[in-house]
Amino acid sequence: MAIQQLQGLIAAPFTPMHSNGSLNLELIPRYYKMLKANGVNGAFICGSTGEGVSMSVKEKKAVAETWAACTKGDNDFIVMPLLGGTCLTDCKELALHAREIGLGAVSFTSPFYFKPANVEMLAQCCAEVASVVPDMPFYYYHIPVLTGVGFTMFDLLKAIDGLIPNFAGVKYTHEDFMDFLSCINFQNGKYDMLWGRDENMLPALSVGARAAVGSTFNYAAPLYYNLIDAFNSGDLTKARLLQQKSIDMIRLLGKYGGIATGKAYMKLIHLDCGEFRLPVKNMSSADFESFKKDVEQLGFGNFCSKQQVIAV
């Protein structure tokens, strides 16, 4: 099958939650409109940012169905769910569901409890899941910091090439630029390599990245499009300053407890996605007030994503 290589920014959305931890599906259509209003080209749902590992199969299906419904007919916006990686049976069920509701692609990450012994075993896992949706682009999600599976993706591409006809590429959330560049050049650019480290976008652009998937694109997409424009126009001084602004913003995630800080950023753009489920630590009310002051010092309002303006 012909694989369309993606371009630009693809957000990894937070899964909206009510105060009791249940899904807040009603927010997703407004979420989609906000991403579109800021030039984002797609949504990588139920991934790390989307708490896919903390949701049941039933909940993942509900989230996917809501995204499918509100993006129906928008051929310029791809929705790709992360199927999971621990139970292949669940992954295949979710892949078939994604095809049934009309999503654009699916993604799979390595089993991370019983880990594959070598890259060939990982390729077999990918092949088993991808085979149930042979007409859908299938991406591997490489995030060794969370899975503990660190095979080079160049070796995975060699193991997969010719084995999985619908293999589209890799969502690459790691810092190995030697491996990433080798994957970009594999078989004359045959596979789509989606960059997954927002804080390292500039070096990724320098080795040929054309698309990126990230959590901070939810609330700071204009910053990254300005960075891309600066790079493409050859203004590396400006591009470096914008990347540093991204890093300063991302440093606050570490200061305030990690991944859940992203939902605090979302509150500041008036899209309240609730909190993360256990075992993730959420920010206290006192910390949120301190966080707001730190964010203001960044000049967040000058580069944050904006809500869609609706004519009255």
CATH fold of 8-302 reads: TIM Barrel (3.20.20)
What pLDDT is attached to residue 265?
98
| b/e burial code for range 167-188 (CB count within 10 A of at least 16 → b) | bbbbbbbbebeebbbbbbebee
Number of H helices, E strands in the chain: 12, 8
What pLDDT is attached to residue 311?
38
3 state DSSP class of 200 = helix
What pLDDT is attached to residue 195?
98
Reported as a single tens digit per residue, the pLDDT across 113-130 is: 999 999 999 999 999 999
Q: Dmax over Cα atoms in the chain, in whole Å?
A: 59
Distance CA 185, CA 201 (A): 18
Residues lower than pLDDT 50 in the chain: 309-312
3 state DSSP class of 28 = helix
Strand order in the sheet with 106-109: 78-81, 42-45, 8-11, 211-214, 192-195, 167-172, 138-142, 106-109
pTM for the model? 0.95
Q: Which residues are catalytic?
A: 141, 171
> Which H helix or E strand runs over 195?
strand 192-195
Reported as a single tens digit per residue, the pLDDT across 34-71 is: 999 999 999 999 999 999 999 999 999 999 999 999 99
CA 75 to chain centre: 19
What pLDDT is attached to residue 308?
65
3 state DSSP class of 44 = strand
For the chain, the structural domain boundaries read: 8-302
